[in-house]
Structure formats: C-alpha cells, structure tokens
Structure 1
Amino acid sequence: MSRRSGLRNVTKLRRKLRRMPDEIEKYVKPAVVAVATATAVDAASIVRKNYGDLAASIEPNFSRDGLSALVGPGAKGVKAERRVGRARARGKQLNLSGANQDLLFQAHKGAWIEFGTKGSPSKGIAPHPAYPFMAPAWDMNRSFGIALVRDAIDAALASITKG
C-alpha cells in the first residue's frame, strides 16, 4: 500500500538529519510519529467497514532511524515481501509464517480496494471499483505533517545553535 508522498528531497533531508547530533532525533521523531499515527487513524476511519479487518490492519511502520514511516494495511508485511522477493531473485523458495502471510494479504487487499480491479469477464470475475482511503488520509494530514516536521527541525536547529 505504499504510495509516494510527492515530497521532494526527502532522502537528502534524512541523510542530513542522520549526520546531525541526537538532538535532531529528539525533536523530529515525535513529529514523524504524530503524523504517521494521525494518517493511520484517518485512513482507518475512511475505509469502508464492510471490508472486515482491513481497518484494524492499518498501522505505521517506522524506519530504523525513526525519520520516516510507511503507513497502510499490513505495512509491517513489506519487510516480509522484500525477503520473499530477494529469495525468488536468487532462485530460492521462502516460506513465511502465518502472521507474515496475513500481513501480506492485508497489504494486497488494501491495494485492491484503494485502486480497484479490472476483473476477468472470461473467468466470471466482476471488476471492483476503487474506494480510496489512504490517499485521502494523506491529503488530510499532508500540510499538518509538513508544518509539524518543519517546526521540529527548526526547534532542533535552534537548540543546537544555542549550544
């Protein structure tokens, strides 16, 4: 369910923040957590309730450095999917645990609901219309998130320059 946020130079910013003292992390991590959590809560409130446990599977998955997050259904299953992809690229088979299989299923189910499906008339499978929930949740939190992270960076830089 990953979707590019449309923000430019994020990777460059993360590299710069990693090189700066721990003071940056003290200010920026809570801002990233707040934005990711708000986006997950809004997405869970937007998604249609007749899709079962999809709303419960929407969660943020934070990077090791805590300066970025992936939000969506089964977001923690992305690591499992990457492992499977690497194993297949090497010509190996990788068996996932039941929990990881469920996370991957939730991620794919979220993508089918967010973007819809074409269906297959030859197999009798009807198309499914798109019901976006992640994109509107990000749109609702985008300006709030950018302002919050910008303020956190400014506060951290002010704290560092004071000494």
Structure 2
Amino acid sequence: MAKRIKDSRLRRKLRRFPEKLRSNIAIVMELSAQELAAELEAAAPKESGDLSEAVHYRVSRDGLSAQIGYANYPGFKRQWKAGGFKALWIEYGTKFKPAQPFIGPAFRAKLRTILDRIDRTVATTLRRASSGDF
C-alpha cells in the first residue's frame, strides 16, 4: 500500500484534482481505515481490553492516505499511553513472555482487499478526470 499510495507524482497530481473528484478516494480511504481498525480491535488480546480501546485511525486532510494503529501523534496521546506501548511488547514478545502477534496478521488479512479497493477507486478517478467527467 505504501508504494502505491505514497507515489509522490501520483499524489501531487491527485491533489490538483477538484475536490469533487477526490471525494471518492477520501471515502474509500476512510472506509479502509475503519475496516482495518476494526480488524485490529477484534484481533487484539482481550486480557485487559485496553489494546482494543487504543486502536485508532486518522485520514489525511487531502484524503489520500491514512494511518491506523497505536502511533503517537497529537490528539491520540491518551490512547497511546493506554495501549500503544503495550502493543509492541505483546506483538514482539519480551524476555519473559512469548510473542503474540496480532497487528501483522490483521494487516495481512485485510491488505489485498484494501489495496484492490483503493486501486479501483484511483483508476476510476483518473478515468473520470481524463474524460472531463466531473
């Protein structure tokens, strides 16, 4: 996904498109982020429940990218403290506890579906832009 969506030339061109054309991509990014966040919530170990509550996502202002997970960035500090750091220890294990991967498997389970959906939407948007149908 990173290679397809972060292609700087494509992103620059898509940003120049009218908002009406880009809105479909923004909607698909929002849906995909919600879907992956829900998958992470379902896959998170339920020992204390704080990992499920700490999963969050954010779609960029232009709607062309999304971040999902336990990242530490402004506005999500409480969620990070609640589960983000703990998620790393559970995912990779510690000296005393074996690894219980859940982030990687959840990501891989949804990756193909999300990439196909984004690719179809970008292709449709580019087709509409080239035909002048906006």
**TM-score calculated relative to the size of structure 2:** 0.82
Q: Which residue of 2 aligns with 1:61?
A: 58
Q: Is the 8 A contact 2:92 2:99 kept in 1?
A: yes
Q: Which residue of 2 aligns with 1:148?
A: 117
The aligned runs of 1:6-17 (5 Å cut-off) are: 7-8=2-3, 10-11=5-6, 12=8, 13-17=10-14
SS at match of 1:78: coil
> Structure 2: how far apart are the matches of 1:107 and 1:29?
26
Identity among equivalent positions (%) equals 29
Task: Indicate which of 87, 109, 133 corresponds to 1:110.
Answer: 87
Q: Which residue of 2 aligns with 1:39?
A: 36
Q: Is the 8 A contact 2:54 2:80 kept in 1?
A: no
The aligned runs of 1:1-163 (5 Å cut-off) are: 7-8=2-3, 10-11=5-6, 12=8, 13-73=10-70, 75=71, 77-79=72-74, 100=77, 102-105=78-81, 106-118=83-95, 127-163=96-132
Q: Which has more radius of gyration? A: 1
Q: Is the 8 A contact 1:42 1:137 kept in 2?
A: yes
Q: Is the 8 A contact 1:115 1:132 kept in 2?
A: yes
C-alpha RMSD over aligned residues: 2.1
Q: Is the 8 A contact 1:27 1:155 kept in 2?
A: no
Which contiguous aligned blocks of 4+ residues in structure 1 show a shift greater than 3 angstroms? none
SS at match of 1:128: coil
Tell me: CA distance 1:146–1:103, structure 2 relative to 1, closer, same or farther (3 Å). same
> Structure 2: how far apart are the matches of 1:159 and 1:117?
51
SS at match of 1:159: helix
> Structure 2: how far apart are the matches of 1:48 and 1:104?
16
Deviations 1:58-111 (CA, angstroms, capped at 9, x unpaired): 1212222221111113x4x3236xxxxxxxxxxxxxxxxxx73x3232221111
- Equivalenced residue count is 129
Q: Is the 8 A contact 1:60 1:70 kept in 2?
A: yes
SS at match of 1:111: helix
What is the one-letter code of the residue matched to 2:109?
Answer: M
